[in-house]
Amino acid sequence: MTLEKIEMFEAFGIELEYMLVDQESLEVRPVADEVLARLSSIATAKANRADPSPVAIGDCSDVSLGNITWSNELAAHVIELKVSEPTANLRELSSNFESAIKDLRPILRSSGIRLLPTGMHPWMNPKTQTVLWQHENQAIYQAFDRVFNCETHGWSNVQSVHLNLPFANENEFARLHAAVRLVLPILPALSASSPVVDGALTGSLDSRLLHYAAHCHAVPSLTGNLIPEAVFDEATYRREIFSSIEHDICPHDQAGVFDVEFLNARGAIARFDRGSIEIRVMDVQEYPGADVAICAAVIALLKELVSEKHSSFLTQKSHTTAQLRQSFDRVCVDAENAMIDDAMYLHALGIESSASTAGDVWKTLLSRLRHSDNVVAGLFAPLEIIQQHGTLATRIARALGPAFTREDLQDVYHQLADCVEVWEPFQP
What is the residue-wise DSSP string for 27-58? Answer: -B---HHHHHHHHHHHHHHHHHTS------TT
When pLDDT is averaged across residues 31-53 and rounded to a whole number, the result is: 81
Rg (alpha carbons) of the chain, rounded to whole number:
21
Rounded Cα gap, residues 10 and 338, in angstroms: 33
Residue 45 pLDDT > 70, yes or no?
Answer: no
Residue 142 pLDDT > 80, yes or no?
Answer: yes
When pLDDT is averaged across residues 113-138 and rounded to a whole number, the result is: 96
Structural domains in the chain?
Answer: 13-393 (3.30.590.20)
Report pLDDT digits (tens) over 174-183: 999 999 999 9
Residue 3 pLDDT > 70, yes or no?
Answer: no
Residue 5 confidence class, pLDDT cut points 50, 70, 90: confident
Please state, rounded to an integer, the average pLDDT across all residues of the chain.
94
Rounded Cα gap, residues 197 and 154, in angstroms: 11
The full DSSP string for 276-337 is EEEEEEEEP-SSHHHHHHHHHHHHHHHHHHHTTSSS-HHHHHT--HHHHHHHHHHHHHHGGG
% of the chain at pLDDT higher than 70: 97
When pLDDT is averaged across residues 189-203 and rounded to a whole number, the result is: 98
% of the chain at pLDDT higher than 90: 89
Residue 43 confidence class, pLDDT cut points 50, 70, 90: confident
When pLDDT is averaged across residues 92-111 and rounded to a whole number, the result is: 94
When pLDDT is averaged across residues 376-382 and rounded to a whole number, the result is: 97
When pLDDT is averaged across residues 209-229 and rounded to a whole number, the result is: 95
Report pLDDT digits (tens) over 59-68: 788 999 889 9
Q: Under 8 Å CB-to-CB from 144, ≥6 apart: which residues?
A: 74, 150, 155
pLDDT of residue 50: 65
Backbone angles phi, psi at 251, to 5 degrees: -65, -20
Q: Looking at 44-53, 104-113, 380-389, 400-409, which range is the least confident one?
A: 44-53
Report pLDDT digits (tens) over 252-301: 988 888 988 899 999 999 999 999 999 999 999 999 999 999 999 999 99
When pLDDT is averaged across residues 416-422 and rounded to a whole number, the result is: 96
Residue 6 pLDDT > 70, yes or no?
Answer: yes
When pLDDT is averaged across residues 2-14 and rounded to a whole number, the result is: 84
pLDDT of residue 66: 87
